[in-house]
Amino acid sequence: MALQWVILAYIVAVEAAVAILLTLPSPKPLRSRIVSLVSLTLQPLLFIVPFDAFQLLDIYWKNEHRLMCTGEVCTAAERDRYEKSIYKAQRNGILCVAGCLLYWCIYRICKYH
């Protein structure tokens, strides 16, 4: 896994933890402090949206320029490598979409409170 995908996976995990923390029931003073702290970090964390968009464009470009391995000329190892790259691209695409979706959810939760 390349460094950008590791970073993105950690960011998505932190976003999921923050979303869970914001939706857990808690006393009013504690909730207001948590929401204000998260609201302060939302603007610097907005970089996730263009970063995800760039990564999705990279996935699309690699998909368009990937060598197709569907015929009988491919060996079993080449076919396995092709399928593995497809699965990795799908996983990374889901990771990008999850990052944007979780950021939007956190933004809306903070806006609501």
Tokens standing for 61?
Answer: 């470009």
69 pLDDT exceeds 80? no
Is the CA virtual torsion 19, 23, 27, 33 positive or negative?
positive
- Provide the residue type at 24 as one letter: L
* pLDDT, tens only, 27-56: 888 888 988 888 888 888 888 888 888 888
Helix, coil or strand: residue 63:
helix
pTM of the model: 0.79
Q: Domain segments of the chain: what residues?
A: 3-112
